[in-house]
Amino acid sequence: MKYYLNGKQAQETDRYTQEITGIPGIVLMERAALKLAERIDDACRKTEGFNKKKDKILAVAESGNNGGDAVAAVRILRCMGYDTYVYEINGIGKKSESYIKQINIAKNSSVGFIEQGNLSDSKLEDVFAEYRVIIDGIFGVGLSREVSGIHADVISAVNAAALKNDITVVGCDIPSGISSDTGHILGTAVKCDITVTFQYIKYGMLLNEGREYSGRIICEDIGLYRAQTVSALAEILPAAAGPYIYYEYDDEEIADHIPLRKADSNKGDRGKVLIVAGSKEVYGALYMCAESCFRSGAGLVKIVSDRVNRDLCMDKLPEAMMLTYETGSVDSTFDEEYKKAVEWADVILAGPGLGTGEMSVHLIEKLAEYCSSGQSLVLDADALNIISGMNATEFFDALKVKLGYEHVIITPHMGEMLRLQKESYTMMQLKDYRAKTAAEYAERNGIICILKDARTVIGCTGSIKGRKLLYVNTTGNPGMAKGGSGDVLAGIVAGIIAQNKDDELTNYEMCCAAVNIHGRAGDMACAAKGEAQMLARDIIENTEKVLLYAKERGF
């Protein structure tokens, strides 16, 4: 399990490691500095034309423990043969004991120091331009105020020098000026090429500006307390550390969440999925969600769609069964067949390309009427737009009574979430509070909320020791921001859940795995086609490769 900590959670694990586990802070600092130095050494060796004895490395440090890590790192790099220096900002009066100790050790180890008194005739940007690597050791995870004054000036000088010159900027734990809680810039922030973070990636590095400003993230184990379970982590965190635990499955867990095929299984054992999708105007969404459902392992798929889509399905997906209607002329005979189709399914997926006209509304209303206990319902795209025009709370409450908690899964993108909320949120506010929104909407309605964005988060019901769980997906890439990607995801979610017939795992666990698999397939597609060239169809093609690779060799 990978945990993503906010600022207070990171500080608490550090305190727990020192006070309860008993590892002194200076030991943790030395471990962090060694990992930071090793990763900088790796980067320098891979930089064309870098000369260890000629090109200089600078630590820009403020007087806290983050600065101590950076100072210790340049001292270690000095021992490796690099020409290293320290620039002390000294913008904060109180210096930590560990920082003072590292400064003294660095001076005794022949590390160079830039005297601020010598800068009167030189711009700081010009001074920084003399270095090939700059280590950002200004602020750490505890920063909560806007950066201003001398610190803002120093950060601006670092960014300007790096932009104009061939300088690699390496962040220490988190880029200075990035909020570890939100990922937003607090006034100004250091733009890093690489960020070496310790034990846990910080939540703010994964979203908003934090994602770009962190550059390539390298997470290093330095011996901080590592919880073996979510409950264990929740146990040590005080109330002030926030109401959420952010996490993601590791490679082994994803492989374990992929349903196994028994030797004597048949197509019915692999799950029956009913897909209510497509319309006269839109047919691609229907095809993509249905094929991705099959490719993710579902045994049987039946499609309910407008009659105009019959030929498409017969040609592109002959494995699927069909029930068709003619928009505007639906009668009781169709409703009877539709009811049978709904009752037949283990999982019903509704919405992709469905439209929001009278017939589409009829299909969603009848679906809510016909579904029953033991089934799971995945609602995507136009199904959510239709529900947003109703009383969504009453709609979900009725389904919760019929199906139970977490048997309804919604997969909104940000725009659809805004419509469902019916609140005066702006898109920026929703991005700021995506975790809170997904968690609270899921809890309030007894559902699973897969809130899609560049970083998808998944909210569920219930809590562990008073904290809500938020799955944060880090697989995937910008090339997936194209039409059809969401349809593919909906199909994978339905297909994966349909195979969990013995309820060995919860729907929530299966949804988290499905989102992760979707992102991995997108990454494979991007590697083969490129971000600009890849299509949603390429994600489907690579879904089967992800599943095969995971089961045969592990990730």
pLDDT tier, 262 (very low <50, low <70, confident <90, very high otherwise): low
Q: Are 277 and 351 in contact (CB under 8 A)?
A: yes
Q: Are 517 and 546 in contact (CB under 8 A)?
A: yes
Q: For the residues 310-339, what does the mean pLDDT come to?
A: 90
Q: For the residues 339-355, what does the mean pLDDT come to?
A: 97
Q: Are 55 and 40 in contact (CB under 8 A)?
A: no
Token pair recorded at residue 514: 């499905």
Q: For the residues 131-136, what does the mean pLDDT come to?
A: 97
Q: For the residues 104-120, what does the mean pLDDT come to?
A: 85
Which segment of 50-59, 407-416, 446-455 scores lowest on mean pLDDT? 50-59
The three-state DSSP-derived secondary structure of 347-376 is: EEEECCCCCCCHHHHHHHHHHHHHCCCCCE
pLDDT tens readout for residues 159-212? 999 999 999 999 999 999 999 999 999 999 999 999 999 999 999 999 999 999
Closest CA to 471 of 485, 492, 456, 484: 456
User: Which residue do the tokens 């019915």 mark?
Assistant: 268
Closest CA to 200 of 245, 262, 256: 245
Largest CA distance in the chain: 89
pLDDT at 120 over 60: no
Token pair recorded at residue 471: 């799955």
Strand-strand pairing, 83-88 and 112-113: parallel
Look over the chain and give the mean of its residue pLDDT values, rounded to a whole number.
93
- ∠ CA 40-215-35, nearest 5°, is 30
Which run of H or E residues covers position 137?
strand 133-137
The per-residue pLDDT for 331 is 80
The per-residue pLDDT for 425 is 77
Which letter does DSSP use for residue 471 in this model?
E
Residue 392: phi, psi to the nearest 5? Answer: -60, -35
Alpha helices in 238-304 (DSSP H): 251-256, 284-295
110 backbone φψ class: left, alpha, beta (φ>0; ψ -120 to 50): left
Token pair recorded at residue 162: 């790096």
- Within 8 A by CB and 6+ apart from 195, the residues are 170, 171, 172, 173, 174, 175, 205, 214, 215, 216, 217, 218
What does the alpha-carbon distance between residue 184 and residue 193 come to, in Å, rounded to a whole number?
17
The per-residue pLDDT for 267 is 59
**What's the number of CA atoms in the CB half-sphere (13 Å) around residue 345?**
32
Which run of H or E residues covers position 322?
strand 321-325
pLDDT at 529 over 60: yes
What does the alpha-carbon distance between residue 512 and residue 518 come to, in Å, rounded to a whole number?
10
The three-state DSSP-derived secondary structure of 480-526 is: HCCCCHHHHHHHHHHHHHHCCCCCCCCHHHHHHHHHHHHHHHHHHHH
User: Which residue do the tokens 């310790």 mark?
Assistant: 198
Which amino acid, one-letter code, is at 282?
V
The per-residue pLDDT for 122 is 67
Percent of all residues in the chain with a pLDDT value above 90, rounded to a whole number:
81
Token pair recorded at residue 75: 């001292």
What does the alpha-carbon distance between residue 76 and residue 397 come to, in Å, rounded to a whole number?
60
What does the alpha-carbon distance between residue 326 and residue 310 come to, in Å, rounded to a whole number?
11
What does the alpha-carbon distance between residue 491 and residue 274 come to, in Å, rounded to a whole number?
11
Q: For the residues 509-535, what does the mean pLDDT come to?
A: 96
Token pair recorded at residue 160: 């300007």
Closest CA to 517 of 456, 475, 470: 475
What does the alpha-carbon distance between residue 206 and residue 259 come to, in Å, rounded to a whole number?
29
pLDDT tens readout for residues 6-51? 999 999 999 999 999 999 999 999 999 999 999 999 999 998 888 8
Which segment of 29-38, 289-298, 502-511 scores lowest on mean pLDDT? 502-511
- 3-state DSSP assignment of residue 121: coil
Token pair recorded at residue 264: 């004597």
Token pair recorded at residue 298: 């579902």
User: Which residue do the tokens 């991005």 mark?
Assistant: 431
399 backbone φψ class: left, alpha, beta (φ>0; ψ -120 to 50): alpha
Closest CA to 74 of 108, 40, 45, 119: 40
